[in-house]
Amino acid sequence: MHYLGHLQRNDPLYDYLYHQIFVAELGIEPSKGFRVFALNGSNAVYLYEDRRYRRRVLGKFFERHHGHDNAAAAQHEFQVLSLLHGNGLGHGQHRVVQPLGVNPAFADVLFECYVLGEPLHRIWARTHPGQDDQEMYHSLSDLAYFLARLHNHNVRGDAVRFREVFPYFDKIVARLWRRGRAKQSEVDRLYVLRQRWADDPAMYADHCVRLHGDATPANFLVTGHHQLTAIDFERSHFGDRAYDLGMIAGELKHWALRQHNDGGVAENYIGHFLWEYSRHFPEQPAAFRAITQRLPFYMSLTLLRIARNSYLGDHTAHILVHEAIACLGR
């Protein structure tokens, strides 16, 4: 974090933060004002600390994307978090961050409680597979518990509409092709394989559930022993539970390739994560089989999504595209 100074009392945000967030939501009189910090790696999220009690909140400003309905995006995330809190996911060892308020008058800001924790990607980064990896196994068990709780407590009656993910698939593949990270022959192969998945009845067999929608390791914070908090529900929607699970599996595969130069290193961790998730069903083996049957498509989608990132070199991106095709062809 980078300290920016005090929030001026004549700042239009001051009164809203004081009365609507700290007094109305937290029950605190922040009579000494607020310190302001910029979070590292973000130009749109700021931390506000009450100078009297040192209570902290985050302000996430959505008015940063041109051509987007930022007010709707801010309201969507606030409503999702509020709904999940109402469903019991605001309490317990595995929870979602607490929303405090949203205001379109101030750059479409969403306020939420600050969570002090360590993101999963830091735990993954210091893991030595097969030697010092109990912390990683524990964190994956906690993540599986949270996602099972999220999905199973928020089920819709309608069946998964598998083809609804295709426009996102198209967008990612098109970007990879434009940037020269996927050859035309690879693009053609991806679409041939996608059609095979589209013809598989298993892809439509489950009910829609509430998804996190951006289940990357940066969005899950370990806050204590077997304690985990999920953040960033901006992309939350209803769909196949395997979407979230496949994203975690794809991120694990990328971690293994990038850190250990061997995608096979991820297999034990992926298997452990999925088995732990399946424990939350009456028929664990049947749930495991059903999930693993659909998982490769979403895992492949995640690898393609990662491959488009500009922070990766072209060589790494080509490896990820190759892995995605192999995964999709299972």
CA-to-CA separations, 231 to 17, 72, 144, in angstroms, rounded: 21, 18, 15
Which band of pLDDT confidence, cut at 50, 70 and 90, is reported for residue 33? very high
pLDDT digits (tens, 9 = 90+) for 40-84: 766 699 999 999 999 999 999 987 666 678 899 999 999 999 999
Distance between CA atoms of residues 245 and 239, nearest Å:
12
Residue 313 has pLDDT above 90, yes or no: yes
Residue 132 has pLDDT above 90, yes or no: no
Residue 174 has pLDDT above 70, yes or no: yes
The token pair that represents 298 in the structure block: 């979403």
Residue 316 has pLDDT above 80, yes or no: yes
Domain boundaries, the chain: 2-113, 118-328
Class of domain 2-113: alpha beta
Q: What pLDDT is attached to residue 43?
A: 65
Given 3.90.1200.10, 3.40.50.720, 3.90.550.10, 2.60.220.30, which CATH number is that of 118-328? 3.90.1200.10
Which amino acid makes up residue 129? P
pLDDT digits (tens, 9 = 90+) for 225-266: 899 999 999 999 999 999 999 999 999 999 999 999 999 999
| C-alpha R_g of the chain | 21
Average pLDDT for residues 294-300, to the nearest whole number? Answer: 98
Q: What pLDDT is attached to residue 198?
A: 98
Distance between CA atoms of residues 145 and 1, nearest Å:
30
Q: What pLDDT is attached to residue 22?
A: 97
Average pLDDT for residues 86-112, to the nearest whole number? Answer: 95
User: pTM here?
Assistant: 0.95
CA-to-CA separations, 120 to 106, 279, 319, in angstroms, rounded: 31, 21, 24
pLDDT digits (tens, 9 = 90+) for 275-292: 999 999 999 999 999 999
With H, G, I as helix, E, B as strand and everything else as coil, classify residue 213.
coil
Q: What pLDDT is attached to residue 260?
A: 94
Q: What pLDDT is attached to residue 143?
A: 98
